[in-house]
Amino acid sequence: MAIPASVELNGAQVASLGRGETYRGGVAPGPAVVTVTTWSSPGASTYRFTVEPGKTYRFTVSPRGENMAAGMALGLIGQALEGGGAFEIAPAT
């Protein structure tokens, strides 16, 4: 079983999601930041965007290869040095 990802929206935790799970919620128009972390890996992954009224946004969160490679080579120290967080956040198509 995959380790859950903690999802924050504008600094407030909104979900703890496992593989294949989703979150649906509202957000006020204006600048927004999605941050995803996990207890098992240092660092945070972020995605910044501007929310437009009435528009729907979807994102996919997946493991970051760079962070996984650093962890395989040097463990937690490698992940901390790599610094980009365990996840990639991308707009869903």
- Predicted confidence at residue 2, as pLDDT, reads 64
Per the DSSP assignment, residues forming a β-bridge with 41 are 38
- Predicted confidence at residue 15, as pLDDT, reads 93
Whose tokens are 């999802």? That residue is 7
Tell how many helices (H) and how many strands (E) occur in the chain: 1, 6
Residue numbers of the domain that contains 28:
5-91
- Predicted confidence at residue 8, as pLDDT, reads 93
- Predicted confidence at residue 68, as pLDDT, reads 55
Which helix (H) or strand (E) segment holds residue 6: the answer is strand 5-9
Of the chain, the percentage scoring pLDDT greater than 90 comes to 40
pLDDT, tens digit, 9 for 90 and up, residues 52-89: 999 999 998 877 666 555 455 555 554 554 556 678 78
Between the CA of residue 70 and those of 4, 64, 79, 86, what are the distances in Å? 20, 10, 5, 10
Say how many domains are in the chain: 1
